Amino acid sequence: MGIMGQTHARAWNAAAAAGYPCKIVAVADRNVASLTGQATQAGNLEAQHTPERLFDRAVVRTTTRLDELLANADVHVVSICTHTDTHVEIALAALAAGKHILLEKPVALRSVDVQRVADAAKATGRICMVAMCMRFWPAWAWLKGRIADGSAGRVTTAFFERLASPPGWSADFYHNSARSGGAAVDLHIHDADFVRHCFGEPESVSAIGTLHNLTSTYQFASARHVVARGGWDYSRTFPFRMRYLVNFERGTADFDISRTPQLWWHADGKTETIDVGPLTGYDMEVRHLCDHLRKGTPLLADINDAVLTAQLLEREITMLQPAQLSLPPA
């Protein structure tokens, strides 16, 4: 029930309020102080923490033991929101217990370990969806739609940027690259995965920089020039930045999370703003999983796809210079 656990809880609650047939029935955390039901932290996308109740302990089972949660017959889906180096062990246990899972990214630092989870999902017949939230972020889903339908012509260039100060929460994990994989794995994975989601497997890839700040260039037959830049070694006062600039033959898509409206479309000598609604990728991913389990709609972030994204990141990381994360001044 750290930042991502609380984020998932909000998304499940919002889905239930919107009429989806889901509810939180149990929560597990090794730290008993995290089981109060109260939100305690703010992440990149929140200016500050807002007190709120995420679940009611009078009706939601709480435990510090994973095996107790997995033995609960009322639990059908498990959101796994722990540190990366615990994902595989917990995912394998959940699948073996017959649970479907929504597994936070990155699944693991090595593609061979992601493959272990994929193999277990296949063997158990359970669904393992990876929480690649950018695939579901409304403005990014809109972009994927324009690329796929060809309504603005072919993509000529695409630029994705994701920059931040070092995570201020769980510093012992995030600042240890051997556990988190650094920005290259934990942060840049969003854009590397979205590039694959939009364009398929790159014909070639090059990367420069370090684990904590890198720029990658991808070559595709369907797009001339695709670049993704990611880093989390900026000043502690630097605001989170998430942007894309994608040029089509007949227009330019321009997204910046720091402004309102966030999404602009430049075409035919004019600029219009695109209203994509108030929901986030976290909201949309849990609703997508509900729809998949209820209606059989195609799963957009399957564990097998996560294996390929992990392999792409491995290719990029081999080109990077080693670096320790030195914390910037406040």
- Reported as a single tens digit per residue, the pLDDT across 181-190 is 999 999 999 9
Is 329 a domain residue?
A: no
In angstroms, the CA 72 to CA 66 distance is 10
Q: Is residue 277 part of a domain?
A: yes
Residue 210 banded pLDDT, cuts 50, 70, 90: very high
Mean pLDDT of 189-193: 98
State the residue range of the domain holding 292.
134-317
pLDDT at 19 over 90: yes
294 shares a domain with 152:
yes
Same domain for 161 and 65, yes or no, is no
Q: How large is the C-alpha radius of gyration of the chain?
A: 20
Q: What is the mean pLDDT of the chain?
A: 94
Chain centre to alpha carbon of residue 182: 15
Confidence bin at 191 (pLDDT 50/70/90): very high
Full-model pTM: 0.94
3 pLDDT exceeds 60? yes
Q: Encoding tokens for residue 23?
A: 């509810």
Determine the pLDDT at residue 235: 94
Reading across the β-sheet that carries 263-267, which strands appear in turn? Answer: 204-210, 213-219, 225-231, 155-163, 241-248, 251-256, 263-267, 270-273
Q: How many domains does the chain have?
A: 2
- Do 111 and 141 share a domain, yes or no? no
Confidence tier at 330 by pLDDT (50, 70, 90): very low
Q: Is residue 322 part of a domain?
A: no
pLDDT of residue 230 exceeding 90: yes
Q: Render pLDDT for 32-89 as a digit per residue (tens, 0 to 9).
A: 999 999 998 665 555 455 679 999 999 999 999 999 999 999 999 999 999 999 999 9
186 and 114 part of one domain: no
Q: Is residue 252 over pLDDT 70?
A: yes
Does residue 145 share a domain with residue 103?
no
- Residue found under tokens 């595709």: 220
